[in-house]
Amino acid sequence: MTGLSRRLEEYLRIRRSLGFKLERDGKLLAQFIGYLHDHGAETITIDHAVAWVGLPAGAGRGWLAFRMSVVRGFLGYLHTLDPAVPVPPADLFPPGGRRAVPYLYSDDELAALVAATDTLRYPPQRATYRTLICLLAVTGMRIGEGIGLDDNDFDIEHGLLTVTGKSGKPRQVPLHPSSVAALATYRSHRNKVHPHPRTPALLVSTPGTRLINVDVNATFGKLVGRAGLTPRSASCRPRPHDLRH
């Protein structure tokens, strides 16, 4: 399978040059090649792809669909080089469930969510989550972009944020003067609490480290409950991601 590993390197290099990170894809495809090697496969068949995709015991439909999409992308590339390589049909592992419906916050709901940050235990935590929520709401950033901001991404003189998106490409987001003032106030407060930064992050946790997704989602869930916000349907629940809408 040396030749196949080389083709995988080519495939990942081409797609990454287009801006895709493909970290998880690369690991999964290396496992797929290992599976083919372990089973002595001299050629790739759809049966091989289906068998490998279905390996995880108890995996959900969404994860199986993702594994198949990763394999299909790679086999599609191989097919362009060798038409004998089959590409599995797209509907072999359809994803389960429905896509989430964006939860559109009213002004009153957003105000209640911000007010709920006052119920958090520590003052630095209150300031961080109040700033994060407001920043996501006024800029349209994704949650990962917000917690990924570094201090030097905030240009207070020109009222700009440099935001790095999923593809790794930066963009500049202009801020309203009121947002600049609020962010400057937060930064001043943060510097008093953490005069010797442990991280270059703009928004920090109570111990002074960069925020992480799992903690933000857990805290946001508490704030949603304390603000009295409720799901509008099974697929429409308040999420941090929806603040960008």
Distance CA 33, CA 221 (A): 40
pLDDT at 204: 97
Q: Are 57 and 156 in a shared domain?
A: no
The reply to whether 61 and 113 lie within a common domain is no
My answer on whether 114 and 8 are in the same domain is no
**Which segments of 8-159 are extended strands (E)?**
154-155
> Domain for residue 92, yes or no?
no
Is residue 102 in some structural domain? no
Whether residue 199 is contained in a domain is answered as yes
In a domain, 212, yes or no: yes
Q: Is the pTM of this model over 0.75?
A: no
Whether residue 133 contacts residue 147, with contact meaning beta carbons closer than 8 Å, is answered with no
Looking at the 3D structure of the chain, how many domains does it have?
2
Strand order in the sheet with 160-164: 154-155, 160-164, 170-174
Domain ranges, residue 154:
107-244
Least confident interval from 29-38, 49-58, 144-153, 215-224: 49-58
Confidence of residue 169 (pLDDT cuts 50, 70, 90): confident
- Give me the pLDDT at residue 90, please: 85
Q: How many CB atoms are located within 10 Å of the residue 25 CB?
A: 22
Give tens-digit pLDDT for 85-121. 999 998 888 876 566 789 999 999 999 999 999 999 9
Whether residues 170 and 72 share a domain: the answer is no
Check pLDDT > 80 for residue 183.
yes
Q: Check whether residue 175 and residue 234 sit in a common domain.
A: yes
